[in-house]
Amino acid sequence: MSSLVAQPAIQDKSHHTREGFRNPWGDRQHHGFGAFFKWQWDRLRGRAPKKPKSYRFDIVENDGTALTRSSGSFSVTWVGHATTILQIDGRTILTDPIWSKRCSPVQWAGPKRYVPPYPPLDRLPPIDAVVISHNHYDHLDRATIRKLGNGPTYFVPLGVKRWLRKWGIRSENIVELDWWQPFELNGLMFVCVPSQHFSGRSLNDTNRDLWSGWVIQGQSQRVYFAGDTGYFPGFKEIGERLGPIDVAIIPIGAYLPRWFMKTVHVDPKEAAQAFLDIGAKIMVPMHWGTFDLADEPLDEPPRALLTAADSLGIDRERIWLLKHGETRILNPVSIK
């Protein structure tokens, strides 16, 4: 395995504060709950764009068989939203797993799924590792974590360990890292990398826990999972320090209204630019078409992404728009 050039996080603590964490890139900070309530008030007053009441998405009713067949390959499966299943060097990894019907503190209210998760949670192969980007409900789901239990090793940014411990996960099953810290598990290298976002699961814990992306390196391939992020200089730094990246899993949805979302969620054009900044070979878009979290229609992000790719001179063959539930095997020919 070629060595990653991640450096110990203690060399840069600019994202640390006395109360928790911050984004160190100028004034690109989250607007806070005041701005959130203004946005919701605008929606109640009918100032948000009109959206369809229903959508039709292509779905692969994956029963897990494809994952069994591809267990020795390098593959990616998009379950929906930010949940993907990665297979690298015979290991199976989940990103931000959520199989619940709603991304909410309760299952009787809050954003609901428009597309069921495939494959079902009980049809997954044994999970070796789970990477968590941050503690928001659409990325850190209590019910799913409890069902996964103490089988996998969980990789989380600083502060998030406390949530998993509350839900019954043993400390020895949790690896908590700061930005740029690496950790090797069974021949795979996991590196916690910066992102431009925020955290919080209640009104009084904003930015107490860290947020991050992840780079995962196997014997021959490297994957970048961005988690949630706005556009920031860190994309280039990640590519320079940890590249070459074979596959970049990048969010493209939940970007309107821009005045509120810009600092924490890339729009499709920014996602395409981030892909170029990282220098990855293949882009797998995620964070769209599953939960209604913003003002754009759920089916708009992929169309906007392809338009942006054309304007930036990105070959569309390098953008793999997976269907919900689709497994795609990535072979050396396809990622050259």
Write the pLDDT tens digit of every residue in 255-280: 999 999 999 999 999 999 999 999 99
Render pLDDT for 293-304 as a digit per residue (tens, 0 to 9).
Answer: 999 999 999 999
Render pLDDT for 124-179 as a digit per residue (tens, 0 to 9).
Answer: 999 999 999 999 999 999 999 999 999 999 999 999 999 999 999 999 999 999 99
Instruction: For residue 305, give the H/E element and its range.
Output: helix 300-311
Q: Which fold has domain 56-329?
A: Metallo-beta-lactamase; Chain A (3.60.15)
Tokens of 17: 């504060």
Phi and psi at residue 105, to the nearest 5°? -65, -25
Is 219 in a helix, a strand, or coil? coil
With a CB cutoff of 8 Å and minimum separation 6, the contacts of 283 are 247, 248, 249, 250, 271, 272, 275, 314, 318, 319, 320
Range 288-313 burial, b when 16+ CB lie within 10 A, else e: bbbbbbbbbbbbbbbebbbebbeeee
Alpha-carbon gap, residue 237 to 119, rounded angstroms: 34
Is 224 in a helix, a strand, or coil? strand
Tokens of 134: 């941050």
pLDDT above 80 (res 30):
no
